[in-house]
């Protein structure tokens, strides 16, 4: 006998979201913060944008994130990085608050700038 079990769409969505949630690791965050400035630089041959936040970055930053204390970086050479930079610039120009989550990984000179994983303009 074949048993068919019904599950709700909500259960599937929640399960998928939990499956995509990264494992607990050190990552910086900014909760409803303001972007103080954006600097575009080249670091180790990679086009990057450095975002500094009023009040700095919270969360438990990865040990590689020794510079800067007030900011996080965007790898603007990737499609995802370009999209993150677009949202950051729009929020900065409009003086909107942002919520930012770090990736827990770093790049830059001496691998010292934490890479932004996601940004939301509020």
For the chain, the distance separating the N- and C-terminal CA atoms, rounded to the nearest angstrom, is 52
6 domain residue, yes or no: no
Rounded to the nearest 5 degrees, what angle is found at the Cα of 39, between the Cα atoms of 34 and 43?
130
Instruction: List the CATH number of the domain containing 84.
Output: 2.40.50.110
**Structural domain count of the chain:** 1
User: pTM of the predicted model, to two decimals?
Assistant: 0.73
Query: What integer pLDDT is reported at residue 109 of this predicted model?
Result: 64
The tens digit of pLDDT for each residue in 89-102 reads 999 999 999 999 99
CB atoms within 10 A of CB 83: 13
- Mean pLDDT (the chain) is 79
From residue 97, alpha-carbon distances to 15, 54, 65 in Å are 30, 10, 23
The tens digit of pLDDT for each residue in 62-91 reads 888 887 677 899 988 899 999 999 999 999
66 domain residue, yes or no: yes
61 domain residue, yes or no: yes
């Amino acid at each position: 006998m074949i048993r068919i079990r019904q599950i709700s769409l909500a259960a599937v969505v929640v399960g998928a979201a939990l499956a995509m949630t990264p494992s607990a690791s050190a990552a910086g965050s900014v909760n409803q913060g303001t972007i103080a400035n954006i600097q575009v630089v080249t670091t180790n041959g990679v086009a990057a944008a450095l975002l500094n936040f009023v009040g700095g970055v919270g969360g438990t930053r990865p040990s590689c994130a020794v510079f800067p204390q007030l900011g996080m970086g965007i790898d603007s050479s990737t499609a995802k990085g370009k999209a993150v930079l677009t949202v950051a610039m729009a929020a900065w120009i409009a003086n909107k608050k942002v919520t930012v989550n770090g990736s827990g990984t770093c790049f830059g000179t001496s691998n010292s700038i934490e890479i932004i994983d996601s940004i939301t303009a509020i």
